[in-house]
Structure 1
Amino acid sequence: MEERKVFLNTHTNLLELEEHMYPLVDVDSPNTFQNLFRYDQIPKIAFNDRIVPHHMPDEIWLTDTTFRDGQQSRAPYTTEQIVTIYDYLHKLGGPNGKIKQSEFFLYSKKDRDAVYKCLEKGYKFPEVTSWIRASKKDFELVKNIGLKETGILVSCSDYHIFYKLKMTRKEALEHYLSVVRECMETGIRPRCHLEDITRSDIYGFVIPFCVELMKLREEYQIPVKVRVCDTLGYGVNYPGAVIPRSIPGIIYGLMTHAGVPSELIEFHGHNDFYKAVNNSTTAWLYGSSGVNCSLFGIGERTGNTPLEAMVFEYAQLRGTLDGMDTTVITELVEYYEKELGYRAPSRTPFVGKNFNVTRAGIHADGMLKNEEIYNIFDTDKFLNRPALVSVSNTSGTAGIAYWINTYYKLPPKRQVDKSSVLVQEIKKWVDKEYEDGRITVLTDDELVAKINNVCGNLHIEL
């Protein structure tokens, strides 16, 4: 029996024993993990307490799918809108290119025109990449446009292999490898989208397939990227959870058993079970350099991992924004509202209208004394969104003055105080509202309408 090699892991500086190779496990009937995914039951999260180590890569980054997955759940963007949003992504990613890539469709003239115009910008980041069908004709299209990387769909669960493709695992593996080889023959870097990985046989199909991808990488000396697609949001980040639902387990398997390096692993999450952000962060922690996101989480069904969320996850993990300009997030919010008619739900973190608005009376009192008490960080500095306090019967003239100054972003010389005529008039109106039986806080729209009315009557200009 051949002895396994002992080698030094340069990331952990520990000696490790070479793992056994995992051959393809071809099966006559699909393994759809009915013990976990009975369709007439809520999916189960099972544990075997097999813990894998953290393995944060030396460098981590974001990639963007706003123009691909993000367009599958809304009206298509116009060419001009795509180019404008691409400009914003470039600015948001900063000089270090922390938003490394953005993927585009190529099938319509509108999308191709957008690709050409984005390429004309000459930005190094985000790199323009594509998503295509697995065909020679599409590979030539990518090559003719001048793109260096494209995504290819390689569905990996038996649900897809047996029921959608009508193939066996061996047939699917051979078909996928022939398609990837065809792509590499044109000199294009393939990005293999492992669709539905959280319902797949990780060691019976995914690992053997990725081992073969790494062989192609060596043969052609072209990087082969592996995108871990949690297509239905089944992934979990709990230590000791069983695969295929365990994101740590999947990332560990790809690195340790398939030999995929961190810089070629990218996680793509969906939010069906509210876990897209946590799973994306977990992918970083366990070895994936990339996480794939969409602006405001706009994507199929419940959406993708919100790009803006991962910007702040990055900062929390690394202790720095590495040059990312977070104020661009607010510029994008305003652009989407004005140009696209899209408004994020008001309580959405970082982008919702009320994400940093304090409504409870006792909380508002604390905010007026020191906003650090109830604001997550200096939202004015990082998002050009000063903390606001809602106006109610407990706000008083000081609270009303604070609301006016912050909502209208008045400079110090133009700010109102509690003795202002405007503030006094608004206070009278607020008191009357609650004397007449009101029990809810006043909305921004109500306050703006009343302030406009009072300013008009008193010939005051804010």
Structure 2
Amino acid sequence: MKMIEYSTNTNLLERTEFKYPLQDINKPNLFRNLYPYEEVPKIAFNHRLVPIGMPKEIWITDTTFRDGQQSREPYTTEQITTLFDYLHRLSGPKGIIRQSEFFLYSKKDREAVYKCLEKGYEFPEVTSWIRASKKDFQLVKDIGIKETGVLVSCSDYHIFHKLKMTRQQAIDHYLAVIRDCIHFGIRPRCHFEDITRADFYGFVVPFVLELMKLMEETGVPIKIRACDTMGYGVGYPGATLPRSVPGIIYGLRHHAQVPSELIEWHGHNDFYRSVTNGSTAWLYGASSVNCSLLGIGERTGNTPLEAMIFEYAQLRGTLDGMDTTVITEIAEYFDKELGYKIPPQTPFVGKNFNVTRAGIHADGLLKNEEIYNIFDTTSLLNRPPRVAITNTSGISGIAHWINSYFSLVDNKALEKNHPVVVRVKQWVDKEYESGRVIAITDQELEKVTMEAMEHYDAIECEEAI
């Protein structure tokens, strides 16, 4: 390996060879200064900054049928194939949703894999996930999947306390399974579980360097998935490892010499950081962010796939052909077919994400919806902005609700001083004056509005006579 090479990213000569021997310690390093179990975890800073290095190409991978099934009742085969169809449609012509990973353990899991493979989609590619055991590997071999994830837990919490191994024993164990994958023509994707509590330069980088040597010897690409299993990752500039997302991604790229297209981030939302950390991983050099639909996953969940669709669009300035109205169809499918109740304020998919209750906001929507709507949710999500009618909605809110609900646009739209709007407002006021505390339902408002319209039409007819 050359000591110095010219970088096409920075247009500078850069050192490319680094020596990071494995630190095969006798006692686990649990980073108690950052993770005192009896207290809230600490975020420390060393003020070391690493450069942003957005890859030329970025994409999304899906774990709805793997990690997403670890916190809810298993999907049926039909439900999996339906959701897989949605992912394919959402992915668009460029295949922004590149892969989807599956369990293989039950007969139902394997049946779903076969049915998804039969669809013949290029994107998402069907991949699997196994533990680092020869028994699990046999499942991948039998089905004939081209790539599989392999669990390679990397923190001393797992190596010493779960696997009951030393660091060297863990590496030897992992490498044996990864070599088996390559021997049988299967691309390995190494899941570095709990990387945000791992000794990055004492274990992670030395192990990854071994994997990069193996990749060079065999010519088979080996992916590195950095798994923030407990959601400890932070994107703050200057934060210390192992919590620093920029530090982890930069370290994999620069010190372990992993190409961006082989680096994937997998985050959890325990500290509300999954989306920000996913975007940070992209910014600092990971091509791929692993997500699940609606963020459903272990404990607080994974990075929501629909959120990263819009992060992608904001960072790239384009949706690259992705049909985001499919997101609304997915949300409706979870609600109506799967009985999954999405919290109503959830961005992009909750029933109230673009609904306003404040009268002053409703007045703004009535004049120009751009004032209080994040983007054209009608065209991008097939979700027009709406107003929920309460005692604070005001007459503007009622006018907006009527126009939206009855699709009254242009010269047919009712102004807030229209007699129909005024009559409905009077009814709403009476409801709350009599002690009502909950919002008015759409069904109630439809009935009252229809009655007001009939009354208005009758008056107009009388005046015409």
What's the TM-score bracket when you normalise by the shorter of the two chains? over 0.9
Aligned to 1:364: 362
The correspondence for 1:215, drawn from 213, 216, 222, is 213
Give the Cα separation in 2 of the matches to 1:267 and 1:403. Answer: 42
Residues 246 and 284 in structure 2, CA contact (< 8 A), matched pair in contact too:
yes
| TM-score normalised to structure 1 length | 0.93
Give the counterpart of 2:237 among 230, 236, 239.
239
Distance 2:451 2:69 in 1: 44
1:394 positional shift: 5.3
Residue 361 of structure 1 aligns with an amino acid whose one-letter code is G
SS at match of 1:292: strand
Q: 2:129 aligns with which of 123, 131, 141?
A: 131
Q: Which residue of 2 aligns with 1:347?
A: 345
SS at match of 2:384: coil
How far has the Cα of 1:416 moved from its partner? 6.4
1:100-139 equivalent positions in 2, closer than 5 A: 100-139=98-137
Q: Decide whether the 8 Å contact of 1:237 with 1:246 is kept in 2.
A: yes
**Larger mean Cα displacement after TM superposition, 224-233 or 16-25:** 16-25
- Maintained 8 Å contact 1:136/1:183: no
Residues 337-380 of structure 1 deviation map (CA, whole Å, 9 limit, x = unaligned): 11011121111111111111122222221111111111111111
5+ residue gaps in structure 1? Answer: none
1:155-205 Cα shifts (integer Å, max 9, x gaps): 000000000000000111111111111111111001110000000000000
Distance in 2 (alpha carbons) for counterparts of 1:345 and 1:103? 26
Equivalent AA in structure 2 for residue 386 of structure 1: P
- Show CA shifts across 1:398-436 (max 9, x none): 532321332465677986666888756533320202322
Q: How far apart, in 1, do the equivalents of 2:382 and 2:317 lie?
A: 20
Equivalent in the alignment of 1:11? 9
1:429-456 CA distance string (max 9 Å, x none)? 2020232245x5724xx23245247759
Q: In the alignment, is residue 185 of structure 1 matched against residue 183 of structure 2?
A: yes
Instruction: Give the alignment partner of residue 448 of structure 1, picking from 443, 446, 455.
Output: 443
Q: Give the superposition deviation at 1:113.
A: 1.1
Does the C-alpha gap of structure 1 residues 249 and 418 become closer, same or farther in structure 2, counting only changes over 3 Å? Answer: closer
CA contact (8 A) 1:364 1:390 kept: no
Hey, what's the Cα distance between the residues in 1 that align with 2:110 and 2:206? 35
* Aligned counterpart, 2:459: none
Contact 2:362 2:396 in 1 (8 A): no
Q: Could you list the per-position Cα deviations for residues 51-89 of structure 1 after superposition, in whole angstroms to 9, with x for gaps in the alignment? A: 011010000000000000000000110000000000000
Distance 1:356 1:84, change over 3 A: same
TM-score for both structures, normalised by structure 2: 0.93
User: Secondary structure of the equivalent of 1:131?
Assistant: strand
Alignment correspondent of 1:433: 431
Q: Which amino acid aligns with 1:165?
A: L
- SS of residue in 1 equivalent to 2:168: helix
Question: Cα 1:458–1:57, aligned 2, differ >3 Å: closer, same or farther?
Answer: closer
Q: Which residue of 2 aligns with 1:150?
A: 148
Give the partner amino acid of 2:100: S
Mapped to 2, the partners of 1:278 and 1:269 lie a distance apart of 10
Structure 1: distance between partners of 2:36 and 2:269: 20
Distance 1:280 1:65, change over 3 A: same
Counterparts of 2:343 and 2:147 in 1: how far apart (Å)?
35
Bigger mean CA offset, 389-398 vs 43-52 = 389-398
Deviates more, 1:137-146 or 1:235-244: 137-146
Aligned-pair identity (%) = 68
Structure 1 CA distance, aligned partners of 2:403 and 2:116? 39
Residue number among 266, 269, 287 corresponding to 2:267 in the alignment: 269
8 Å CA contact 1:151–1:193 kept in 2: the answer is yes
- SS where residue 191 of structure 1 aligns? strand
Q: Residue 197 of structure 2 is aligned with which of 199, 202, 216? A: 199
Distance 2:275 2:335 in 1: 24
- Aligned-residue CA RMSD (Å): 2.3
Runs of 4+ in structure 1 deviating by more than 4 angstroms, as ranges, are: 393-398, 408-425, 452-460
- Aligned residues of 2:359 and 2:394 also touching (Cα < 8 A): no
Q: Is residue 198–residue 235 contact of structure 1 (8 Å, CA) maintained in 2?
A: yes
Q: Distance in 2 between matches of 1:265 and 1:170?
A: 23
Q: Which structure 2 residue ranges, 5 or more long, are not aligned?
A: 456-465
1:236 is matched by which residue type in structure 2? V
Note if contact 1:390-1:441 (Cα within 8 Å) is conserved in structure 2: no
Contact 1:46 1:241 in 2 (8 A): yes
The answer to whether the Cα contact below 8 Å between 2:387 and 2:400 also exists between their aligned partners in 1 is yes
Alpha carbons of 1:361 and 1:421: their partners in 2 closer, same or farther (altered >3 Å)?
Answer: closer
Shift of residue 6 of structure 1? 2.1
Matched length: 455
